Amino acid sequence: MRKILLSFDGTHYSKGAFDFARRMNDEEPILLTGAFLPQVDFANSWSYANGGGSVYIPLIEGYDADVVAANIAKFEEDCVRHNIEHRVHRDFSSFALPELQKESRYADLMILGSQRFYENLGLESPNEYLRDALHDAECPVLITPEEFDYPESIVLAFDGSRSSVYAIKQFAYLFPELCRNRSIVVYATKKEGGNIPDEDYIKELAARHFSNLTFYELEANPRDSFSTWITDQDRPILVSGAFGRSGFSQIFKRSFASDVIAENRFPVFIAHR
């Protein structure tokens, strides 16, 4: 049984994030922990951009406890309706991000709704608080839009880095049932006829976990062509490596996953050491 952490900021309930957890439970029973974080005032916080270490997120005055209580009740009702074993964690201080990091340490996977997670913090997607949560998580993170089709194809972003290989392995360990679907290892290069790095190694590894596997090389301008290419796939989920402030790597930069998250069409699985 997998322990799944479903994280909500207190006043926003993500139906998309819950729906993905529900589908996971349909495949194999899970323990679903709902973490209800306080509403925060991000404008008055310290962040990594200011050279800080720990992130301080102050609590908004007049935090609506009734809305949080209603969302907790909805979560519990949804879990009971779908026969999901569940827990509720609600005792968070205003230092929400470090506490979410600790929650992720004791979970196999964290699920966040990309459109609802602290959506009050601005129009940028993913917003900075979601970026911080991705960066600091101590387990893999699944980002879901509110409306999506459950994955029927797996897009494995690969550039030969430790991070991209780690993400592929973590996805295979957590979603063996999805690994039976059509899976594509995608390598991006700006060089015509560039070779896939460590091609024999990644083929040996990936073929052990993904039974319907192909390889595809993006050419021309990878960033411009990737969004168009993944849209043509059948109900995809993107699997990607590290999501840090320095970007992915020289080939698969942070913009790949950021673009897919911002478009709010497909789930994105991110894992880093």
Question: Hey, is 103 helix, strand or coil?
Answer: helix
pTM above 0.85, yes or no: no
Q: Is 187 left (phi over 0), alpha (psi -120 to 50) or beta?
A: beta
ω before 126 within 30° of 0 (cis)?
Answer: yes
Q: What is the mean pLDDT of residues 212-240?
A: 83
Greater confidence (144 vs 219) lies with 144
The single-letter DSSP state of residue 34 is: E
Nearest to 125 by CA among 114, 135, 136, 134: 114
Q: How many CB atoms lie within 10 A of CB 170?
A: 21
Q: What angle do CA 58, 63, 65 make, to 5 degrees?
A: 135
- Looking at residue 165, its pLDDT comes to 94
pLDDT tens sequence across 40-75? 544 444 444 444 444 444 444 445 678 888 889 999
Measured at the CA of 4, the angle between CA 166 and CA 111, to 5 degrees, comes to 75
Tokens describing residue 254: 């942070």
Max mean pLDDT range (59-63, 142-146, 178-182) = 178-182
Q: In what order do the strands lie in the sheet with 2-9?
A: 85-89, 30-37, 2-9, 109-113, 141-144, 268-270, 236-240, 153-157, 182-188, 212-218
Whole-number average pLDDT of the chain: 79
What pLDDT is attached to residue 55? Answer: 44
Residue 212 clears pLDDT 50, i.e. is over it: yes
- Phi and psi dihedrals of 88, rounded to 5? -125, 130
Query: Per-residue pLDDT averaged across 182-204, rounded?
Result: 82
Give the Cα separation of 272 and 61 in Å (integer). 35
CA-based R_g, the chain, Å: 19
pLDDT single digits (tens) 241-258: 876 544 334 334 445 666
pLDDT for residue 193: 58
pLDDT-derived band at 11 (thresholds 50, 70, 90) equals confident
* Element (DSSP H or E) covering residue 19: helix 15-27
pLDDT band at 135; cut points 50, 70, 90:
confident
Average of pLDDT values for 120-140? Answer: 67
Alpha-carbon span 196 to 194, nearest angstrom = 7
Q: Could you tell me the two tokens for 115?
A: 């459109």
Distance CA 184, CA 93 (A): 42
The domains found in the chain, sorted by start residue, are: 2-144 (3.40.50.620), 153-270 (3.40.50.620)
